[in-house]
Amino acid sequence: MKTNQFTSSSDRLTRIIKEVDMIEDIWLQQETTELTNSTATKPLYFQTWHHRNVYVCTGPLYLPKLEADGKSYIKYQVIGKNNVAVPTHFFKVIVMESDNQKLDMEAYVMPNAVIKDDTPLNVFQVPPESIERAAGLLFFDKISRSKLNKINGRWA
């Protein structure tokens, strides 16, 4: 993927993990500047959390959409001469540790589209299992769900 593929597109090149999040390790800071840590996005916003420790898994999704014929299809844009796939959505699965060592989990799926600034973040909350199914991945599977204090703000 080359950065010039984004110059004629409404999409922008966005880092999945920001350099400032890797402040303790210079090698990891440098790794965040690689194109493998980048994806094509529409302008998005993300909330900041204040906890003792925060662990985040984030990535692209290609989700189906119900069409007029009543069937679901996965359609996504490709850009540039190398046909770089533009995700339809992005996910974040977050585990936060409070000062009293309790764990909370939050899970979000956001469309790769312009989102109004006044849209509440909880509109995008989904069960973590739905992201695992769509992504084909398991998140924080070594943490028993019974050890979580809250999932998406609700008592687990």
pLDDT digits (tens, 9 = 90+) for 127-150: 999 999 999 999 999 999 889 999
In this prediction the pTM is 0.71
Identify whether the C-beta of residue 12 lies closer than 8 Å to the C-beta of residue 6.
yes
What is the per-residue pLDDT across 9-62, written as a single tens digit (0 to 9) for each? 555 556 665 555 555 666 666 666 665 666 666 555 555 556 788 899 999 999
Distance from the Cα of residue 132 to its chain's centroid: 12
Phi, then psi, of 48 in degrees rounded to 5:
-105, 135
Closest CA to 89 of 111, 58, 116: 111
| Mean of per-residue pLDDT scores for the chain | 82
- pLDDT of 47 reads 54
> If you compute the radius of gyration of the chain from its CA atoms, what whole number of angstroms results?
17
